Every structure is written in C-alpha cells, then in structure tokens.
Amino acid sequence: MLETRFIPKLGRSVTRLCLGALPMGPLQLKMSPRDGAILVRMAVEFGVTFIDTASKYGTYEHIGRGLKGWKGTVTISTKTDAGSDRSLAKRHLEEARSALGRDTLDIVLCHCARSKFTEDAWGPTLEILVAAREKGLVRMVGLSTHNIENVRIATRHPDLDVIHPLINMKGMGIIDGTAVEMIRAIQEAHKAGKFVYAMKAMAGGNLLFERRKALGFVFGMQEIDSVAVGMVTTAEVEWNWRFACGLPISEELSRRAAVRSKRVNILSNACIGCGECVVHCENGALSVTGGKAQVKRNDCVLCGYCAPHCERLAIRLV
C-alpha cells in the first residue's frame, strides 16, 4: 500500500508517489488526451491520489478525461508562469478551474523553475493567488523551483504554503548549488511546516539507468512529503507504484518499463544553444540549429552522457 502524508491545510492525505503529468503533454512526448487519460486512470486505480501539472504543460484534458466518473478524492497541483502579469495569472486560474472541473483548486504554484522569486517578478501573481485562497478558490499557494535560494525564500515567506523543489542524487539541474545544499534547504522548509514535494528525482529521465537508487534516494528523505515522477507508459505506472509500495518487481515488468523504450528530447524553451551537449556527445547525435540543440535520432544511443553538461536540464529522456 502506498505511504501517505496528511496535509493539514488540505485537510486530507496525499500519496508519497505523485503522478507527474509533464512528460505526457505537448512539451515532451505529445501523447493524445485519450492515451494520457488511460495512464491517469490507471494511476488513481492503483491508489495514487496526487497529480502534478501546470498551465504550460497542456495536460488538463488528459487529467480531466482520466478522472471522469472517478469517485475518490484526488489532489491536483497546478502552476502558473504569469510572473508580473496579473491578468494572465487570473486567466490561468480560471482555465484550470474550468478544464479540471473544479470550483476550488487544491494547490497553485508560481512556476518560477529557473527564475528568482522576487517581488518585482512574482509579486503580482502571488497577490492574485493569495486573494483566490482567501475567497476559497484555492486551498494552498506556493512555488516550484530549481534554485536553492528560492527554497529558502519560500521557507521564510508567510504567504507560501508549498515548495516544489528539484532534487536528485547527483544534483543535476540545481542552478545555484549542490544536492547537499538543496537537501539542507528542504530540511529547513520541512521544519518550518511547509508542504514539500520533490521533482526531477530521475533528473528528467537521465538517471533511469539507476532508477532504483535514484528514486530510493529521494523517497528516503523523510522531509519530502511526496515525489512527482513522470510516467508515460502503463508499465512505468506499475513499476513506480510497486517501487513506492515496496512490492516485488518482476524482470518482465522491468523490461517493459526499460529505458530502451525512451528517446532524448530537448526542451526548446529551456535550451539556450550553448553547444555543450554537442561537445560531449560521443556519437555525433547532437547539433545546434537555429540557436537550439537538435537530436539525430538514428545516431542517438541513449547513453545519457550529454545530459550532465546541460546546466539548464533541457535534455530529457522520455
């Protein structure tokens, strides 16, 4: 059975395994809403009661279809990247409420993954989210981040209930420090009473060759209430569920959920075309065209050696 954590401000428990919806959407694998819905439904039937998404992920329809007719309670966390644009923040809230069919959104985060959380950059959006919480349209407000400094800011901020930090055993993708430093910040946040749920435990898929160790590392941190894991096949859903429950995992299931079913994907909105990945690709499978890294599918052997050299974590295995 999945371990859960009770979240007082939600008035309910969430599972420590959270279904991450990013990889199934148009930014990565481009799964159809119908296929994404199958995964969502399978996850909740296994008992996963926490789902992570965002306005820019394009996965509201996947989630909505998957939960149609479902009678159990499922907590959904979404995000807005509106920044200083109040009107956009309002629109993102209404779009989420409408698309997900919810009068009240459980969790809404400032989606400041790579940007610093400052009053100038995020004050307007935070104002909208706090006002929505006071009106009962949102239950909890927080931020998602790849920055240690942002975790510390959120820990001290009285209006932020939730922190969604990047953490993995190698510290891949952390912008301003090491995994050890991020862990210390997470521990401080937990001590301050924040709801902390982690992202990128497998570094955007780049630690899939070591997934037992990678997931064990993050799940082993008791200061982390839940871990969002992206899943794009039914085999992955079952494999992650079994791992989180401490159940046996057959070799056949591991083969079906194997990394060889993956492919390298470059997040164009994160890539700055620096070319470091090209330099470190031993197979000549990467190039920079039009200011963005590109993958030559026939030459890529999914070794993952390029990913550690991308400071912006723009290279994913999905």
Residue 220 pLDDT greater than 70, yes or no: yes
In percent, the amount of the chain with pLDDT more than 90 equals 79
Pairing of β 315-317 and β 264-266: antiparallel
| 206, 214, 220, 232, 304 from 265: Cα distances, Å | 11, 20, 29, 14, 11
DSSP secondary structure string for all residues of the chain: ---EEEETTTTEEEESEEEE-GGGSTTTT---HHHHHHHHHHHHHHT--EEE--GGGT-HHHHHHHHTT--S--EEEEEE--TT-HHHHHHHHHHHHHHHT-SSEEEEEEE-SSS---HHHHHHHHHHHHHHHHTTSEEEEEEEES-HHHHHHHHH-TT--EEEEB--TT-TT-SSS-HHHHHHHHHHHHHTT-EEEEB-TTGGGTTGGGHHHHHHHHHT-TT-SEEEEE--SHHHHHHHHHHHHT----HHHHHHT-GGG--EEE-TTT-----HHHHT-TTS-EEEETTEEEE-TTT-----TTGGG-TT--EEE-
Residue 63 pLDDT greater than 60, yes or no: yes
pLDDT at 206: 78
Which residues, in sequence order, are CB contacts of 296 under 8 Å at separation 6+?
284, 285, 286, 287
Average pLDDT over residues 279-301: 86
Average pLDDT over residues 24-32: 89
Average pLDDT over residues 170-183: 93
- Band the pLDDT of 208: cuts 50, 70, 90: confident
- Whether 151 contacts 165, CB under 8 Å: yes
pLDDT digits (tens, 9 = 90+) for 96-133: 999 999 999 999 999 998 889 999 999 999 999 999 99
Q: Could you give all domains of the chain from N- to C-terminal order, each with its CATH number?
A: 4-259 (3.20.20.100), 263-317 (3.30.70.20)
Distance CA 211, CA 226 (A): 17
Residue 261 pLDDT greater than 70, yes or no: no
Average pLDDT over residues 21-47: 94
Average pLDDT over residues 185-197: 98
Greatest pairwise CA separation for the chain in angstroms: 55
pLDDT at 311: 81
pLDDT at 307: 79
Residue 152 pLDDT greater than 60, yes or no: yes
Token readout for 52 is 């992570």
Looking at per-residue pLDDT, the higher value among 125 and 207 belongs to 125
pLDDT at 301: 62
Residue 258 pLDDT greater than 80, yes or no: no
